[in-house]
Chain A
Amino acid sequence: MVHFAFLDWFWLVAFVLLMIGSGALFYRLGKRSEADFFLAGRGLPWWLPASSVYATHTATDTPMWVAGVVYKHGLAGLWYGFFAAWCAISAFVSTKIFRRSLAYSQAEWQTLRYGGMPAELLRGWVAGWQVFLNMFILGWVGIAMGKVCYFLFGWPPWMGLTIFSTLCAVYVLAAGYWGVVMADFQQGIIAFVAIAFVSIWGMHAAGGPHAIVEKLHEMGLSRMLNPFSFSGFTGGDFPVAWFITMLFIGILGGLGMATAIDWFPEAQRIQSARTVKDASWCIWAGQALVVTRNALWGAAILGFFVLYPDLTQVKDYEMAWFRLGFETLPVGMIGFFFAAIVAIHLSTISTHLNLGAVYITRDLYHHYINPKADQRRLVWVGRVGTVILLVGSFIFGSIMENITEWLIFALWIMAAGVWLPGILQVIWWRFNGWGYLTAWIFNLVFSWLVVWVLPAFGVIPHLRDYQQFWLLMFLGAVVFIPVTLLTKAESMDKLVKFYVMSRPVGWWGPVRREAERRGLL
């Protein structure tokens, strides 16, 4: 339990008012149109969506899982956060292609890339999936805040979950994406300053950088200082095979779309950028900040490790960074730290509230239910969608137990079977809507079978996460490649239109030649 002095409460109340107030200030801009409520009118300079990318991916649960992997594996654990490397490639490949499509969402993009029935099925499927996934993410991030509040104040977890998500909903409902991105800008600054300050302060409390390094040497754990310290090629708990798989997924994933769960919030930021160039740099810079932030945390967690080297329970050491702050900062700064945690939390919650509402409004309501809806009605549907997501997140949050387990499951498995088709749909003209739809459906079936059901019945052994990825990718390909080749290619009219507008890279020869023949290039 932590005791708050007056100054601590001052920081907290001031920060919350600042965040909600600045978001709500953009009420008039947000309500102008669907494009304003969800994309800030497509007019943002690169640094605004970049700060939003960074702030969104700095959630309350993020320091928990960084602490979890660094406490266990040392600096090598930072590679768990290097999936973000997909942005290193995407910024110059798929980001440009997606920005040029002008699609509001990944679901909408499916109908620009594919035609006919499969395109419509895919749009509905991806939209429904994203509504679910955003609720799910809101739930797991929300319950992480519940854990922090339980640790700090002894509140039951549902209180931390509901209070702060509801506060956040105030400015998301008022100003939509304008509120999200403007609040994210200041939240990103607050979060980066707080992360740097608390990490340095925590390391100082552990004796300073030199003492941390010396203690690790004395403990015979010098390997924790080596970011490339693995436990063998395939053996041990952190093998090179995992590292290679991670690099493969992370870096090549940038060639495609929807190859990582982070693609979906990034897609919204890409479209909100005012030019193609701004879109590229916002994605690149936002994720560069993310990997740098992880490094700050990583060093601080080593400081925590030398202070408390004998923790064996994940639930104890995943709170490492929070404990460094709350146990070492002086009175008056604890409130500042907590306010920064609230900033971190709100930035993620606001993004997923608005993002889920994009799919409800643009892809489900506007496209399927009421195509003639006026702009005023669409903004209101966006607000109703936001409330649906908020309530859904409370339900999901209340049934989640172990954050790390769910997160690793989501990172590896939910993306495994659709990773390759996510690339193929961008780089191969012949890949079609039936193939992609099949990949999605079978991935859900295969992932639950491979991860939970078959091992539980002893049909296959319990595989390591990277082994699951390769198996799921292979199983998916066995189904979706034959389906693609046995069904018709997309119509050349559709493909030419897509090619001329988006200029994808890869194997698009026949489409390019047709576009040239028609005098469109």
Chain B
Amino acid sequence: MPFIRRQWTSKEADEWTREDTITVIISPIVYVLLMVGTALSMLLIPAGFAILAAGIVLMLVMIWIINPKLSSVSEGYEKKQKGYIEELERTIKWED
């Protein structure tokens, strides 16, 4: 099995896996790199461009890792959504 899995059934995608862990570690780092890199790049400080580029690359890596899993989660859930919405509308009538 590859280190990063990119094929999922919706049931498998509902579980927390290595891909989720890697994503939640990378994600805030991307925010830091985008913010710091943009500020320093605006001031034409060379390190800023390198930091910004690293942020963009890491963002693309993150999308590559997690997007297939998110697609599978969505696909599985949407099949059940209509029934869930009907159930939700019943719960608004709390006096029944």
Contact = CB atoms under 8 A, between A and B. Distances in A.
B47 to A, nearest CB: 10
Interface string A477-521: 000000000000000000000000101010000000000000000
Given A89-B24, A100-B77, A212 B35 contact: no
Identify whether the interface residues of B are mostly helix, strand, loop, or mixed.
helix
A276 B70 contact: yes
B73 A276 contact: yes
Nearest to B19: A92
A280 B70 contact: yes
B74 A277 contact: yes
B17 to A, nearest CB: 11
Contacts of A120: 94
Interface in B15-31: 16, 20, 23-24, 27-28, 30-31
A284 interface: yes
A367 interface: yes
A3 interface: no
Given A89-B24, A371-B92, 11 more contacts: A78-B39, A89-B28, A92-B20, A92-B27, A102-B85, A227-B36, A250-B28, A291-B31, A292-B34, A294-B35, A501-B84
B7 interface: no
A277 B70 contact: yes
Contacts, number: 123
Most A CB contacts (10 A, CB to CB) among B30, B36, B91 go to: B36
Which bracket fits the contact residues of B? 35 or more
Contact of A88 (B27, B38, B43): B27
Contacts of B93: 371-372
A372 B95 CA distance: 10
Counting chain A CB atoms within 10 Å of each CB, the highest count among B35, B43, B44 belongs to B35
B53 interface: no
B54 interface: no
Interface in A221-257: 225, 227, 250-251, 254
Given A82-B31, A277-B73, A102 B42 contact: no
23 contacts: A75-B39, A85-B31, A88-B31, A89-B24, A93-B20, A209-B43, A210-B44, A213-B45, A225-B45, A276-B73, A277-B70, A277-B71, A278-B74, A284-B27, A287-B31, A291-B31, A292-B38, A295-B38, A295-B42, A362-B92, A367-B92, A368-B94, A371-B93
